[in-house]
Amino acid sequence: MKTAGWRSAWIYGCVLALCQPLAACGDAAAPAAKQATKAQASAVPADAPLVIAFGDSLYAGYRLGPKEGLAPQLQAALAADGVAARVQNAGVSGDTTAAGRQRLAFVLDHAASKPALVLLGLGGNDMLRGIDAAETRANLDAMLAELKRRDIPVLLTGMVAAPNLGADYAKAFDPIYSELATQYGASLYPFILDNVVTDPSLMLDDHIHPNAKGVGVIVQGLAPLVEEALPEGE
pLDDT at 7: 54
Handedness of CA 210, 110, 144, 118 (dihedral sign): negative
Task: Compute CA 225 distance to the chain's CA centroid, rounded to the nearest angstrom.
Answer: 13
Return the domain boundaries, the chain.
4-229
CA within 13 Å, CB half, 232: 0
Task: Give the orientation angle of helix 212-229 with respect to helix 70-80, to 10 degrees.
Answer: 60
* pLDDT at site 42: 54
Distances (CA, A) of 223 to 112, 116, 119, 176, 217: 22, 15, 11, 23, 10
For residue 207, give the nearest of 56, 29, 8, 70 by alpha carbon.
8
pLDDT, position 231: 84
User: What is the CATH class of 4-229?
Assistant: alpha beta
Question: Could you list the mean pLDDT of each consecutive 10-residue stretch along the chain, which spans 234 residues?
Answer: 49 43 42 42 80 98 97 97 97 98 98 97 97 98 98 98 96 98 98 96 96 98 97 67
> What is the model's pLDDT at position 110?
98
Active site residues: 57, 206, 209
- Hey, is 188 helix, strand or coil? strand
